[in-house]
Structure 1
Amino acid sequence: MVWSFWLMSNPSRADASREGGEQQQVLSSSVQARKGETDKSNANLIFSSFAGLLQQWPNTFAYSGHSIIPGIVPRATLLYHGTNDTNGPPKEGLEWLAFDPEMSYRIASIRPGDTSLYTYVATHPLRVIYFDGQSASLGTPGFMDSQFAIINASVPEIFPDLGHFIEAEYARATALCKLADKYGFEGVVRMNTGFELLWLLNVINVTDPFTDNVPASTTKSHPAHKIFAPNYLRHGRQSPLSRGGFWNAVHSGSQHFFAPGEVRVILDPEGFISFYDGLESLNAKRRSDGTSGGPRSRHRLYGISKEDARTVQERLVEVLGRKNSENWRADPGRPDWRAVVLTIVDRYSPLLGELDYLLNRADLNATVQAIEVRTLTYDLIMPSLDFSDWNSPEPGWACPRHSRPIRMIIRSIEGTLERLCGKMYDLFEQTILLHLPITPSLPFNSTLEVIARSKIPAWREEVESLQKWARLVYMGPLSAAL
Structure 2
Amino acid sequence: MRSVKKAAVWLFLAVERVLTAQIPLLPDYHEESLDFYSHFERSPRQWDLDEPHAVNATGNLVFETANSLLQHWANTRYRIGHTIIPGIVPVGTILYHGALSGPHIPTTPDWVAMEPEHSMVFCSGSVETGCWHVTFAVTRPMKVLYFDGSSAANIPEGTMDTQDLVAWSEMRPEWVDNEEQRIQDLCKWGLQNGINGLVRMEVNFEIMICNFTSHMEVISFSNLDSPRLKIGNVTDLPEDPNSVHHAFEIMHSTSWRENYPGETRIVLDYSALISFYDTDLVPSLMPRRVGLERWDHRVAGISPEDIERVEDRLAQVLERPPVTASGIDWKTVLRSVVDRYASRLDVMQYLTNITLDDTPVLLDRARKVQRQLRTMLAPYILLAALPPRDSVEVNATHSWAAPVFQGCATTHTSFIGTRGILTPSERLLLQAVQETSREICRVITRIWASGFIAGLDPLYPADQDIPADRIRTLMGEWKEDIARLMSWLDWSIWVKCRPACGVEEMCYLPTWPIGFFPPDHPFQAWNSASTPWPDPNEGEWKRPQPKCIRRLEPYGF
TM-score w.r.t. length of structure 2: 0.65
**How far off is 1:91 after superposition?**
4.4
Gap runs ≥5 in structure 1? 1-38, 207-231
Letter in 1 for 2:312: E
What is the aligned partner in structure 2 of residue 212 from structure 1? none
State the alpha-carbon separation in 2 of the partners of residues 388 and 458 from structure 1.
Answer: 28
Equivalent positions of 1:73-152 (< 5 A) are 73-86=89-102, 88-108=103-123, 114-152=130-168
Q: Give me the identity figure in percent.
A: 28
Equivalent positions of 1:81-480 (< 5 A) are 81-86=97-102, 88-108=103-123, 114-156=130-172, 159-161=173-175, 165=177, 168-201=178-211, 235=233, 242-278=243-279, 279-287=282-290, 290-291=291-292, 294=293, 296-322=294-320, 325-326=321-322, 334-361=327-354, 362=356, 365-386=361-382, 394=414, 396-436=416-456, 438=458, 445=465, 447-471=466-490, 473-477=491-495
8 Å CA contact 2:125, 2:131 repeated in 1: no
**How far off is 1:386 after superposition?**
4.7
> Which has the larger share of helix?
2
Letter in 2 for 1:172: R
8 Å CA contact 2:371, 2:458 repeated in 1: no
What is the aligned partner in structure 2 of residue 65 from structure 1? 81
Q: Would the alpha carbon gap of residues 122 and 316 (structure 1) be closer, same or farther in structure 2, given more than 3 Å must change?
A: same
Secondary structure in 1 matching 2:494: coil
State the alpha-carbon separation in 1 of the partners of residues 77 and 125 from structure 2.
Answer: 27
**How far off is 1:76 after superposition?**
0.8
State the alpha-carbon separation in 2 of the partners of residues 51 and 416 from structure 1.
Answer: 12
Letter in 2 for 1:161: W
**How far off is 1:149 after superposition?**
1.7
Letter in 1 for 2:315: V
Letter in 2 for 1:272: L
* Mean Cα deviation higher: 304-313 or 187-196: 304-313
State the alpha-carbon separation in 1 of the partners of residues 463 and 309 from structure 2.
Answer: 67
8 Å CA contact 1:93, 1:201 repeated in 2: yes
State the alpha-carbon separation in 2 of the partners of residues 412 and 198 from structure 1.
Answer: 30
**How far off is 1:306 after superposition?**
1.2
Q: Would the alpha carbon gap of residues 63 and 234 (structure 1) be closer, same or farther in structure 2, given more than 3 Å must change?
A: closer
**How far off is 1:302 after superposition?**
1.6
State the alpha-carbon separation in 2 of the partners of residues 111 and 374 from structure 1.
Answer: 65
8 Å CA contact 2:89, 2:142 repeated in 1: yes
Letter in 1 for 2:318: L
State the alpha-carbon separation in 1 of the partners of residues 339 and 312 from structure 2.
Answer: 34
Q: Would the alpha carbon gap of residues 107 and 451 (structure 1) be closer, same or farther in structure 2, given more than 3 Å must change?
A: same
**How far off is 1:179 after superposition?**
1.1
**How far off is 1:200 after superposition?**
1.0
8 Å CA contact 2:371, 2:457 repeated in 1: no
| Residue correspondences, number | 398
**How far off is 1:64 after superposition?**
0.6
8 Å CA contact 1:98, 1:104 repeated in 2: yes
**How far off is 1:450 after superposition?**
2.4
**How far off is 1:479 after superposition?**
10
Letter in 2 for 1:126: M
Q: Would the alpha carbon gap of residues 243 and 372 (structure 1) be closer, same or farther in structure 2, given more than 3 Å must change?
A: closer
Secondary structure in 1 matching 2:175: coil
Letter in 1 for 2:113: A
Secondary structure in 1 matching 2:195: coil
Q: Would the alpha carbon gap of residues 439 and 50 (structure 1) be closer, same or farther in structure 2, given more than 3 Å must change?
A: same
State the alpha-carbon separation in 1 of the partners of residues 318 and 111 from structure 2.
Answer: 22
Q: Would the alpha carbon gap of residues 234 and 426 (structure 1) be closer, same or farther in structure 2, given more than 3 Å must change?
A: closer
**How far off is 1:474 after superposition?**
3.1
Please identify the structure whose Cα radius of gyration is greater: 2
Letter in 1 for 2:152: A
Q: Would the alpha carbon gap of residues 277 and 80 (structure 1) be closer, same or farther in structure 2, given more than 3 Å must change?
A: same
8 Å CA contact 1:64, 1:135 repeated in 2: yes
**How far off is 1:235 after superposition?**
4.3
**How far off is 1:456 after superposition?**
1.6
CA RMSD between the two structures: 3.4
**How far off is 1:439 after superposition?**
9.0
State the alpha-carbon separation in 2 of the partners of residues 387 and 444 from structure 1.
Answer: 23
Letter in 1 for 2:82: H
State the alpha-carbon separation in 2 of the partners of residues 433 and 440 from structure 1.
Answer: 9
Letter in 2 for 1:117: H
State the alpha-carbon separation in 1 of the partners of residues 337 and 456 from structure 2.
Answer: 29
8 Å CA contact 1:70, 1:128 repeated in 2: yes
State the alpha-carbon separation in 2 of the partners of residues 272 and 251 from structure 1.
Answer: 30
State the alpha-carbon separation in 1 of the partners of residues 126 and 488 from structure 2.
Answer: 45
Q: Deviations over 1:319-338 (max 9, x none)?
A: 0011xx45xx898x812110
8 Å CA contact 2:75, 2:150 repeated in 1: yes
8 Å CA contact 1:110, 1:242 repeated in 2: no
Gap runs ≥5 in structure 2? 1-54, 216-229, 386-402, 499-544, 547-557
State the alpha-carbon separation in 1 of the partners of residues 88 and 376 from structure 2.
Answer: 35
Q: Would the alpha carbon gap of residues 265 and 44 (structure 1) be closer, same or farther in structure 2, given more than 3 Å must change?
A: same
**How far off is 1:272 after superposition?**
0.6
Higher relative CO (Cα under 8 Å, sequence separation at least 6) belongs to: 1
